[in-house]
Amino acid sequence: MNKALHRYLPILALLALIPLWELICYLANVPNYILPRPSVIYDAFINVDKMRWLEHLWATVRVAVLGFLLSIFISLPLAVLMVQSSFLNRTLFPLLVIIQSTPVVAIAPLLIVILGAGEAPRLAITCLITFFPIVVSTTTGMLSTPSELIDLSRSLKGSVFRQIWQIRFPFAIPHIFSGLKVGITLAIIGAVISEFVAAEKGLGYFVQFSTSYFKIPQAFAALLFLSIISLLLFQTIRWIQAIFFAWSLPAEEQK
Amino acid sequence: MPKRSSLPSLLFSMAALFTASLSLAADKVNFQLDWLPGGDKSPIYVGIDQGFFAEVDIEVRINQGRGSTEAITRIATGTSDIGIADIVALLQARAADNVPVKAVYSLLSQAPHAFVVKKEAGIQSVADVKGKKVATSPFTSSNIFLPLLLEKNGLKESDITLVKTDPGALGPMLITDATDVVISWLTSVDRYRSQAKQAGTELDVIPWYDAGLEFYATSVIASERFLKERPDVAKRFLSAFHKSVEFAFANPDMAAKAVNKKVPEADIPTAITTINSMRTLVYNSVSEKDGIGTITPERLQLTWQATAKAQNLNVTDFDPESVVDRRFYMEQ
C-alpha cells in the first residue's frame, strides 16, 4: 500500500490541487477573466471540438519533438568537436553563449523573414531554445571521463572514434540525459513561442487566439494541455533512460 | 520513320495542352492579414466563400499575421502579394526605409482608437480625462497618437497618469477601478462590454475621431512587384475585394460564418459583434463623400501630418503620395 502510494504521489498531489483551486476561487469570488475555476476550464475544454484539440495538439507536439530531435542532432556532434579540439572549444563556446543569451522572441520575426512562413522558423526557434543545455551537459559529461582511461586508450593506440564512442560517451550518458530532460521541457516552451510569432495551428496559437478574444478559460484549458504534454515528454525521456541506459541511473532509481 | 515525324507533333500537342491548362488555372494570390482572423477580417473570407474571387478567376490563399509591421515586411519580402495593414505603419515604414509596398485601397477611413470608461465615471469627452488614470497595452498603435489627441483637446501628457499593461488585464482593471480609462480599438470594445456585464456595470466609448483625430487606418497594401508584374490580377482582386467588403457589412452573419468555416477558433457571435462595431469606421461621412476604398490626397496628407507629428518626424521630408498607387482601384 505504502509503495503504491509512493508511486502515485506526484499525480495525487496534482489532483489534490484541483478542489483546492476551485474552493479558493469560490470563496474569494475570483472572476473568470482573472483566474477561471477548474470547472469553468473543464466546460471550456468540452466546448472545443475534439478534432480541433487534436489538430492543435499534434501541431505543437510535432514542432516540439522535431525541433528537439534537430537540436540533439546538432548538439551531440558539436559537443564531440568541442571536447576533441580546445581551439574549437575556445572559439565556439562564446558564440554558443551569445546565441543562447539572445532572446529568441526578439529575433523570431527575423527568422520568419529569413526562413519563410512555413514550419522552418518554428523548428529553428525550438532548436535554438533547446540546444544549449544539451551541448553543455554533453561536453561536461565527456570531459568528466577519468584521464587515466583516455591515456590508456591512447597508449593502446585506440582510434579517436573508439575513444569517444566507447569511453567518453558512456561516461557522459547521465549528463546527456539531464541535458535532454531540461531540453525537452524547453522544447515545449520553444514550440509555443514559435506559435505566438508565426503559426496557424498549435496550442500556442490557440492560447494567443483565446487571450486576444478574452476567452481566458479556453486559454487555461490549452495551458493545462501544454503542461500535460511537457510531463509526458519528460517522462518519455526518463523511460528511454531507464530502458536503454538503466546502468546510468543513480542506484536508488534503478530499483 | 513514324517515330521521328511524331515527335514534333507530340511536342506541339503538349505545348498546346500546357498553354490551355495555363489559361484555365486561376491566378493565385497570397493575401496577408495584419492579425489573427476574426470579424474585422471577414471581407476576404466571405469573398472566397461567396465565390467573388473565383468569379474574377483568382484563387486566394490567406496568411494570418501578427501586426501591421509584420504584414508589411511579409508583403515586402514576397511571402504575400497583397494584404491589409495600418496605412500609418506603411507611411512610417516608407518614410524610414522606402519598403517596396504601396497602399491601393482604404478600408477604414476613420481610425479605430477610442477611450473606454465606466458609465458612472461621468467622463464624456477627451477633455474630461484630465487628472485620470489611463491604461493601455504596451504595443498598440493608439499610444503613438495619444499625445496628439491630448494636445488637440487642450491637455498635456502630464495631465494624465498613463499605465502600460498586458492587454488581457485592461478590462479587469477598468472594472475593478484600478484605472479610470482604457485605450482600446473600437473593434475590441464589445469584449470589454461583456466583461463589464458580468460585473454588473456599463461602459461608455469616446472615439478619438470625434475629438479631432481624422485620418485613414487599415488599408489594402500590395508589393510593388505584384503590382508591376500582375497589374491585371491586382485590378480584378480589388474589384472582388470591394464587393466582399460591401457584402460583409450587408450580411454580417454570413461573413462571420465564412470566417468560422475556415477558422473554427473564431466564433460566430463574436465575429458578428466585431463586424457591427467597426461599421462606422468603414461607412461614415468620409466614405460617403469619397467612396469606400478611395484614398484622397487631402486626407492622406492629414494622415501623414498626424503620423509625422506623433513620431517627431519632419512633415516636409517625405511625400505621402509616394505611398499610394491609385491605378488599380476605381470607385464603382
Mean of pLDDT values over B209-238: 96
Domain boundaries in chain B? 26-110+216-323, 113-211
Q: How many CB pairs under 8 A join A and B?
A: 50
Residue ranges of B 144-203 with Cβ closer than 8 A to chain A: 167-168, 171-172, 191, 194-195, 198-199
Quick one: pLDDT at residue B9?
A: 61
Quick one: pLDDT at residue B191?
A: 83
Q: What would the grid cell of residue B98 be?
A: 522606402
Closest CA to B175 of B235, B216, B120: B120
Mutate to test the interface with A, among B177, B265, B268, B272 (most CBs of A within 10 A): B265
Q: Using the structure block, give the residue that is written with the C-alpha cell 500546357.
A: B18
**Mean pLDDT, chain B, integer:** 90
pLDDT tens figures, B138-169:
878 888 899 999 999 999 999 999 999 888 78
pLDDT tens figures, A105-127:
888 878 887 887 788 999 999 99
- Region of A144 on the Ramachandran plot (φ > 0 left; ψ -120 to 50 alpha; else beta): alpha
Domain boundaries in chain A? 49-254
Quick one: pLDDT at residue B16?
A: 55
Q: How confident is the model at residue B60 (pLDDT cuts 50, 70, 90)?
A: very high
Quick one: pLDDT at residue B5?
A: 47
**Model confidence at B90: pLDDT above 80:** yes
Query: How far apart (Å, rounded) are the C-alpha atoms in residues A46 and A41?
Result: 9
Cβ of A214 within 8 Å of Cβ of B191? The answer is yes
User: Which residue type does A175 have?
Assistant: H
Please, are residues B19 and B51 in contact by the beta-carbon 8 Å criterion? no
B269 contact A CB<8A: no
Quick one: pLDDT at residue A37?
A: 93
Q: Using the structure block, give the residue that is written with the C-alpha cell 457584402.
A: B247
B82-86/B218-223 β-pairing: antiparallel
Mutate to test the interface with A, among B34, B61, B63, B66 (most CBs of A within 10 A): B66
Among B82-91, B197-206, B218-227, B318-327, the range scoring the smallest mean pLDDT is B197-206
Two domains, one topology: B26-110+216-323 and B113-211? yes
**Model confidence at B190: pLDDT above 90:** no
Strand partners, A170: none
Q: DSSP label at A110?
A: H
Q: DSSP label at A248?
A: G
Of residues A211 and B116, the one with the higher pLDDT is: B116
Query: How far apart (Å, rounded) are the C-alpha atoms in residues B215 and A27?
Result: 49
Quick one: pLDDT at residue B10?
A: 58
Cβ of A117 within 8 Å of Cβ of B79? The answer is yes
Which residue is closest to A117 within chain B, CA to CA? B79
Cβ of B172 within 8 Å of Cβ of A212? The answer is no
**Model confidence at B31: pLDDT above 80:** yes
Contacts for B5-8: CB closer than 8 Å, 24+ residues apart: none
What's chain B look like in SS3?
A: CHHHHHHHHHHHHHHHHHHHHHHHCCEEEEEECCCCCCHHHHHHHHHHHCCHHHHCCEEEEEECCCCHHHHHHHHHCCCCCEEEEEHHHHHHHHHHHCCCEEEEEECCCCCCEEEEEEHHHCCCCHHHHCCCEEEECCCCCHHHHHHHHHHHCCCCHHHCEEEECCHHHHHHHHHCCCCCEEEEEHHHHHHHHHHHHHCCCCEEEEEHHHHCCCCCCEEEEEEHHHHHHCHHHHHHHHHHHHHHHHHHHHCHHHHHHHHHHHCCCCCHHHHHHHHHHCHHHHCCHHHHHHCCECCCHHHHHHHHHHHHHHCCCCHHHCCHHHHECCCCCCCC
**pTM for the whole structure:** 0.84
CATH of domain A49-254: 1.10.3720.10
Query: How far apart (Å, rounded) are the C-alpha atoms in residues B293 and B332?
Result: 10
Percent of chain B with pLDDT over 70: 92
pLDDT tens figures, A130-166:
999 999 999 999 999 998 988 888 898 888 888 889 9
The class that CATH gives domain B113-211 is: alpha beta
> Which residue blocks in A48-167 are alpha helix, DSSP H?
50-84, 86-101, 104-115, 120-143, 147-155, 160-162
Mutate to test the interface with B, among A30, A32, A33 (most CBs of B within 10 A): A33
Closest CA to A60 of A218, A184, A226: A226
Quick one: pLDDT at residue A100?
A: 87
How wide is the angle at C-alpha B160 spanned by C-alphas B158 and B162, nearest 5°? Answer: 100
Q: Which positions of chain A have pLDDT values less than 70?
A: 1, 254-255
**Model confidence at B325: pLDDT above 80:** yes
Q: Which superfamily is assigned to B26-110+216-323 in CATH?
A: Periplasmic binding protein-like II (3.40.190.10)
Quick one: pLDDT at residue B245?
A: 98
Closest CA to B32 of B1, B5, B65: B65
